[in-house]
Amino acid sequence: MTHKVLLLPGDGIGPEIAAQAARLLKACQEAGLDIEVEEGLVGGSAYDVHGEPLPAETLEKAKAASAILLGAVGGPKWDKLEDLSKRPEKGLLGLRKNLGLFGNLRPAMLYPQLASASSLKPELVAGLDIMIVRELTGGIYFGQPRGIEERNGERVGFNTYIYSESEIERIGRVAFEMAQKRGKKLCSVDKANVLEVTILWREVMERLAPEYPDVELSHMYVDNAAMQLVRAPKQFDVVVTGNMFGDILSDAAAMLTGSIGMLPSASLNESGQGMYEPCHGSAPDIAGQNVANPLAMMLSVAMMLRYSLNETAMAERIEAAVGSVLDNGLRTADIASEGTRRVSTVEMGDAVLAAF
């Protein structure tokens, strides 16, 4: 059966890195992978054409796809849009919500070849390999009521941080299963000393624990987790947390590696359908210059092959190709260091394809 893959380049550097992913998909097809690739518009570039960050057509295509590859969305061009519902980010959030992509997997791992790129001392990050499991379709991102309104003669802004037991349980199971496949340690991050919603979160995690006796569950307050990531990141194996804390901590964790331009992510729903995207953003400041690092996007293809298409061998081929390109000393600007060869987005794409 032919898998449908939807490629959504998005904004900023999105189209440039998506172009390299498209070449890689073609190479996979030539190597025997049975996929059909379509493209679509999302984010600011969709707004510019359709007046909507998530046009109905894109959503239709997304629903019909086995997997989605997304570049990045957003940029200063659309930051001034008064109507929040038209902003590029709503395209991304709409895809997550409409497809039920509640399980966000954000690995933060250090490539040995790039150890010096980290801002942390080498001994603290050597071999770093954390998996952050972030809930992606609930919490304060989607909670109601929300808005800005007049109360007692002045405006107030408000959002609602809310989780139900079933939402927590669902993401908890993803995290426990992930821990079983990895180092068997799961740290659940909350703010249970202040927020009721995270008291419930902690309680549900505790309730699940006996079903996964091989996994060691611990709890950490979010402020402490932010500290511990800076102090001694290797203490973590799998981390599970809600949408907002996950947004913050996964970015901090990714940056610990010094090479966020290398990190892919997956967002999965209950039927294994997934959206794959780089952890980095749309980087409008370097868009259109052929300098962005396409590797996170190309590794997102590998992650897609592994998690949604069950094509482990092909995924490994891509990862090995990336590894050998790094071994050969090729670097885009973001990961450049002394004694390496600086290459452009397209040249990096070329090199990965040549090694594939």
Half-sphere exposure of residue 58: CA atoms within 13 angstroms, side-chain side: 28
The stretch near ligand IPM (CB under 6 A) out of 85-93, 111-119, 176-184, 322-330 is: 85-93
Q: Minimum distance from CB of 221 to its own copies (Å)?
A: 9
Q: Is 193 in the site for ligand IPM (CB under 6 A)?
A: yes
Which of 34, 63, 79, 223 is catalytic? The answer is 223
Which of 61, 191, 276, 334 is catalytic? The answer is 191
Q: Minimum distance from CB of 93 to ligand IPM (Å)?
A: 6
Q: Minimum distance from CB of 225 to its own copies (Å)?
A: 8
Q: Which of 13, 46, 92, 260 binds ligand IPM (CB under 6 A)?
A: 92
Q: Minimum distance from CB of 282 to ligand IPM (Å)?
A: 8
165-181 vs 196-208: helix axis angle to the nearest 10? Answer: 50
CA pair distance 169, 116, nearest whole angstrom: 39
Q: Which amino acid type is present at position 237?
A: D
- Both tokens assigned to 35: 């996929």
Contact 198, 219 (CB under 8 A): no
Residue indicated by tokens 């740290």: 187
Window 23 to 82, contacts with ligand IPM (CB under 6 A): 74
For 77, residues 6+ apart whose C-beta sits below 8 A from its C-beta are 44, 284
284 is in an annotated binding site: yes
For 99, residues 6+ apart whose C-beta sits below 8 A from its C-beta are 62, 63, 68, 269, 273, 275
286 is in an annotated binding site: yes
Which of 141, 163, 212, 307 is catalytic? The answer is 141
Q: Which of 39, 89, 129, 347 binds ligand IPM (CB under 6 A)?
A: 89
CA pair distance 257, 146, nearest whole angstrom: 35
Q: Is 247 a catalytic residue?
A: yes
CA pair distance 103, 243, nearest whole angstrom: 10
Q: Compare residues 89 and 350 and give the one whose CB is closer to ligand IPM.
A: 89
Q: Which of 219, 222, 131, 141 is nearest to 175 (CA)?
A: 131
Please report, in range form, the residues annotated as the binding site for substrate: 96, 106, 134, 223
Point out the annotated binding site for NAD(+).
Answer: 281-293
Q: Which residues contact ligand IPM (rule: CB under 6 A)? A: 74, 89, 92-93, 193-194, 223, 247
| Residue list, annotated binding site for Mg(2+) | 223, 247, 251
